[in-house]
Chain A
Amino acid sequence: DTGVSQNPRHKITKRGQNVTFRCDPISEHNRLYWYRQTLGQGPEFLTYFQNEAQLEKSRLLSDRFSAERPKGSFSTLEIQRTEQGDSAMYLCATPGGQANEKLFFGSGTQLSVL
């Protein structure tokens, strides 16, 4: 149990549709991260939150992507007008360890855009 729950686990959608993923940390964390992982690659940073505030966004996060963390607990990641290139695993993580530098990931949401 990593302490991070993500749903759905799998999402298949048609190109042009909107999708939303949810991340629920089991315990409270100030910081929450979103990463994207394509097949055979390492996770790529997308964005992170400090409480409700979204403090950094990667250039990978186009205008079609929006993330929120309304109460500083769970977070959502929405992709509008999905494209085939959006197909990937979307991972959510919270920090932990002595200096809060380790990342604890959820199992991710696997998105397939047809």
Chain B
Amino acid sequence: GESVGLHLPTLSVQEGDNSIINCAYSNSASDYFIWYKQESGKGPQFIIDIRSNMDKRQGQRVTVLLNKTVKHLSLQIAATQPGDSAVYFCAEKETGGFKTIFGAGTRLFVKA
């Protein structure tokens, strides 16, 4: 069935280091992928997205990489800051579809 999963449930990094959060998806029909950040007591917040016709997309301190061959998605955070501590979810969607499917999440801890 459809699933979007993450390889690591928790990730601990030193402040200032780069973070890499990975995700695997299984629905070949998905062509739009999104990363969300969720802080305690809040709903998920959009970070960055990528369409299947791209391999890489950069935002401010964040980069998303998409490898369609192995159905793998990653989020890279440069110069990780304490404010980046949160749970990160990857999500997938088919263009024109109505449902966004979320993975289980990775909790990022940033050590000062």
Q: Which residues of A contact B (CB under 8 A)?
A: 2, 4, 31, 35, 40-45, 48, 55-56, 91, 93, 97, 99, 101-108
Interface residue range, chain B? 20 to 34
CB pair A104 B102 closer than 8 Å: no
Q: Which residues of B contact A (CB under 8 A)?
A: 4, 9, 32, 34, 36, 41-46, 49, 89, 91, 93, 95, 98-105
CB pair A107 B98 closer than 8 Å: no
CB pair B105 A103 closer than 8 Å: no
Residue in contact with B93 in the complex, picked from A93, A101, A108, CB distance below 8 Å: A101
CA distance A83 to B9 in the complex (A): 28
CA distance A81 to B44 in the complex (A): 28
Most buried by A among B4, B32, B100: B100
CB pair B43 A48 closer than 8 Å: no
Most buried by B among A4, A35, A101: A101
Known interface pairs A41-B105, A102-B34. Does A55 touch B43 (Cβ–Cβ under 8 Å)?
no
B101 CB, min distance to chain A CBs, angstroms: 7
